[in-house]
Structure 1
Amino acid sequence: MKSKFTYRSTSETDIGLRKTANEDSFLDTPQILTVAESLNRLGYLFAVADGVSGQEGGEIASKIAIDTLRMYYVLPHVNIPPQDRLRNVFLEAHRRIEEYAEKHPRYKGMGTTLTSVILKENSAYYGHVGDSRLYVIRPVTREITQLTEDHTLVNRFVKEKKLTPEEAAQEDSNVLDQALGCVAKIHVEVGEYPALCPGDLLLLCSDGLTDLVTDAKIRDIVLGSPSLADACHRLVMKANQQGGKDNITVVLVAVEETGSEEH
């Protein structure tokens, strides 16, 4: 007998206090209006994209990324593993953003992060480029685990031992090493978290949240909120209370058990 899971989700995005436009985009499975058979076969899809600040067209790039994910994810004839599906869609989104910038020179250099997760049975399959993040929060142990790695120059220099963590804390952590559309060759990070349990929560978010709110505080807000919608709203409010220097987007998903099925 194998446990069968269902996933409840909610999301919220906010322009923040210092930006004049919201360059974030996101995908919550109910927005796709996909038939139940496809969701059961392909899994439930969630994503956050954050247009690269400092370049015109960030909001266009993030929208192209999410639209590409939405369209290509449900192609019926593509019967490949979730991680391969995500990798292919990321590469297609990268190509489409580059193509758009070539046709519209004013947007040359535009780009976006993209962090996405497919939930299927008790596994989370994720694809990731940039510094938006995917977390798993486990209420039973009060643990918060970041599944993705920040694709920033500072983080790369720490891994290469060119900077110590203490030195890195003094550097600009927002300079991206990888982003769709504005890097010649992208490396799509893919992974699997194969041990989801009923009660687990998955959080996708842009760096407008994580630059201003610590992981521990994020965990406490999520676990201390009476509902998913309330948790999302409190996270956005907290980031704004801390200065709201960027757009803030959060997608929160709860893993629930619906029974068992025989295999």
Structure 2
Amino acid sequence: MKRQVNEAVRRVADALETWDGIDTITLMEGEEDVYDPYFFLSVDAYYRGPLLDADRRRELFPFAGAFESSLANRKDRFLMGDLPVRVEYKDIARFEDIIRGDSVTNGAFRDSGTYMFFRLQHCSVIRSRSDWIEQIRNDITQLRDEFWDGLRASVQSRMEHFVSDLGAAVIQNDDLFYLVSAAGFIRSLTSLLFAINRRFEPSARLLAEQTLKLPVLPESFRGRFDSFLRRDSEITREKKFEIAELLARSVLNL
């Protein structure tokens, strides 16, 4: 299986290199076992200039089966035999703009937090035409206080908003709004903790585990965190809201 994976990575990299705009190709390893149902080959293609349209990208991979493309997410999914592959296209200029700026209030981290930097930090470099990735990796280890302070303020505001929404959903007994608010709250809470610890956020599959390993956590955090996540009919929504308030208050005091 390892040989099959290595061969698939090589073929994907060879195909991507035919596009002159590609600067660096990386592989994210270690998040899932090959035999895990969640497994897929996760490739990032960092490019300069315009993004090729979906039809032209499809032509890069004549060996791909079940090819699907998402223009909104700049992502292609396909199969190589029984191996699922995901290729995500990332504009180098966007990373450079974020690194150069002092503010993070532009929504750059609204959907996936700082996972983009986590991937840069932990990926394996498959191909590279320049030293860009070495430079950007060095840059993200030296982010200024303004970056982390701005990130914390932005995420904190979202967390407080979701706490308020969660309380309203409980009062109104609104099932859907409760689920949306609970998800938004716990996601923004963990993002805030990673910002406070000046760490980049991992993928959602590793988030619970890595959150509990952060060096700076509030007192009694683990118990409250587990209680909020627990699916237990004895813990009412009113109680979950109380736990959310306690979690939020304890993190704000850090």
TM range, smaller chain: under 0.3
The structure number with the bigger radius of gyration is 2
Question: Which structure carries more strand by proportion?
Answer: 1
User: Scaled by the length of structure 1, what TM-score is found?
Assistant: 0.27
Q: Which has the bigger relative contact order, CA under 8 A and spacing at least 6?
A: 1
User: Scaled by the length of structure 2, what TM-score is found?
Assistant: 0.27
